[in-house]
Homo-oligomer: A and B are copies of this chain.
Amino acid sequence: MEYKYLNNIAGPDDVKKIPEDKLPELAAEIREALFNRLTKRGGHFGPNFGMVEMTIALHYVFDSPKDQMVFDVAHQTYPHKMLTGRARAYTDDEHFGEVGGFTNPEESDHDMFYIGHTSTSVSLATGLAKGRDLTGRGGNVIAIIGDGSLSGGEALEGLDYAGEMDTNLIIVVNDNEQSIAENHGGLYKNLAALRKSKGEFEINLFRSMGLDYMYVEEGNDISALIKAFREVKDTDHPIVVHVHTVKGKGYKPAEENRENWHWHAPFDRETGENLNNWGGESYNSIFADHISERIEKDKSIALVTAAVPGAVGLGQEKREKLEENYVDVGIAEEQATAMCSGIAKNGGKPIFATNATFAQRVYDQVTQDVSLNKSAVTIQLSSSSVFGMGDATHIGISAIGLFSNIPGLKYLSPTNREEYLAMLDYSIDQNEGPVVLAVPCDGVNPAEYPVMTDFSGPVKYQVCEKGKEVAVLALGDFFNLGKNTAEFIESKSGKKVTLINPRFASGLDEELLDSLCEDHSVIVTLEDGILDGGFGQKVASYLGSKGVKVLNYGFEKKFYDGVPPQTAMKECRLDPELIWEDVIRA
């Protein structure tokens, strides 16, 4: 492929030099570049293919970075990156590594924020507008938000506040009729009515929040978009431009199966088939199968997701089979959490399953709506781990510090397949209070030690191997690391090391810790999370006055950005040999 236009674009000024009637050729080149990267590397597919024309029109009309664009989630910004000096990261395989998957000010001045979570763009844009007005810098502020993100509380708060502002602010709603999976929420009926009436329907969510409104039906027609954006440029008040686009536009498999092609692994362009086989058992499939079986027998169970059913292995077919017992609230984690509390209150058995990074939204809801009310809600966290960590916007290693310190909540950290299922079943069936369950991420391992099934009552750690001198408390995901560490130390010292599975990140087995002090001089703790606020520090605090040495291992308090697990672990001395060195020193 020759990138006739794209190769000559160093920034938005170069886009503006292209005659308007040639812009569709640029669009075709962008799609080719997207194919080049996505077939080989994978990434967000549908959002980017749908945004090609809109991105060209935005940069044709507005003057970034003087005019400031905030892309919600920022997973749809591959075309934006191509038009702001980063095209070769898509056209040239050797430069794939030069861009991340989201906007990031460290990559380009055209990226306003480092963003990866949904529903933040409007609020951030109101701030840019306010800052602009206070400092007199001038320029347009444009938020670009997908329909799926509109159901998030932060987005709705942002729209509402924008509706009382009296200054330039443009909110482009990219309506492709789809969230990650299908949309959920009453407002989507309104968007449908607005699309059907070409924006004329009298009931209008945006107008009801005090915002001006314009509708553009041809969201993949560059000229229509240019016309619309020219109309709103330099507006003196907030206005919503509701644009109807086609998710995955330009690739038939993606247009036809929007959920599967929201994000996609490397694939064959001709057939749409995955290049790699992702077979084998995963915790996703284990959960999906187990919960489906349980729901078949117990209709009081309610599985709740917030727009990421894929994160727990629930494809469309599996979801439909769950009928009334499956609820997707859309991108609305606060709603999911509080709803679960209500379900529990009336005798249902709710499970809120989501990614650890998105659960960060609901500390207050878990505390107030759930835990203070002793509601027996299971909150299952995926990816609360160094394994599978992506950009700094999607890291789950804060989960222990965030949730384990909430009063009245049990944080369970299973170490293997059987223990995971035992904890899940315990949590579903108990009626005492909330449980956070951290799904293991270090592969599916079978149990090597007996598995407890009742996690009520006081915190009980499991002594897997009983030794002397040195004890290793290896939480959840890091149990295998702990086992390896104990074996390494044994091989070096010739003495049997005590190996413990703590099971609970939220509390101490004080009796056991006291007894360890009798014949141990060093206690090692390992956890798959940031050390500060986590599990090991509680152990160190409890043992602070006892005279035994405590060595805590976990991650640094920093934003790990695309760091491979092994690198992060080595940095933090999470390695049997390095731990052995520290033990000797202590």
Cα–Cα distance between A529 and B533 once the two chains are bound (Å): 13
Cβ of A38 within 8 Å of any chain B Cβ, yes or no, is no
Q: Known contacts A164-B186, A398-B367; is A339 also within 8 Å of B127 by CB?
A: yes
Q: In whole Å, how far is A218's beta carbon from the nearest beta carbon of chain B? A: 24
Q: Known contacts A369-B120, A369-B124; is A338 also within 8 Å of B302 by CB?
A: no
Q: Are B134 and A324 in contact (CB under 8 A)?
A: yes
Interface 0/1 of A154-167, CB less than 8 Å to B: 10111111111000
Q: Known contacts A345-B128, A540-B540, A551-B544; is A207 also within 8 Å of B211 by CB?
A: no
Residues of chain B within 8 A (CB-CB) of A131 are 302, 342-348, 350
Number of copies: 2
* Most B C-beta atoms less than 10 A away, residue of A164, A208, A348: A208
Contact of A549 among B152, B209, B210, B544 (CB under 8 A): B544
- Of all chain B residues, the one with the shortest Cβ separation from A337 is B123
Cα–Cα distance between A207 and B393 once the two chains are bound (Å): 35
Q: Known contacts A153-B334, A369-B113, A401-B405; is A204 also within 8 Å of B208 by CB?
A: yes
- In chain A, positions 543-568 with a C-beta closer than 8 Å to chain B are 543-545, 547, 549-552, 557-559
A: contact size bracket:
35 or more
Cβ of A250 within 8 Å of any chain B Cβ, yes or no, is no
Q: Are A363 and B363 in contact (CB under 8 A)?
A: yes
Q: Are B582 and A545 in contact (CB under 8 A)?
A: yes
Residues of chain B within 8 A (CB-CB) of A130 are 302, 327, 339, 342-343, 346, 348
Interface 0/1 of A431-474, CB less than 8 Å to B: 00000000000000000000000000000000000000000000
Q: Are A342 and B124 in contact (CB under 8 A)?
A: yes
- In chain A, positions 145-183 with a C-beta closer than 8 Å to chain B are 151-154, 156-164
- Of all chain B residues, the one with the shortest Cβ separation from A391 is B372
Cβ of A537 within 8 Å of any chain B Cβ, yes or no, is yes
Cβ of A116 within 8 Å of any chain B Cβ, yes or no, is yes
Cβ of A315 within 8 Å of any chain B Cβ, yes or no, is no
Q: In whole Å, how far is A523's beta carbon from the nearest beta carbon of chain B? A: 8
- In chain A, positions 567-586 with a C-beta closer than 8 Å to chain B are 582, 585-586
A sample of 21 inter-chain contacts (CB < 8 A) reads A113-B369, A120-B365, A124-B342, A126-B335, A127-B340, A127-B342, A127-B344, A134-B325, A137-B346, A137-B347, A160-B186, A161-B330, A163-B187, A186-B210, A188-B210, A203-B204, A204-B208, A401-B405, A404-B532, A533-B537, A544-B550
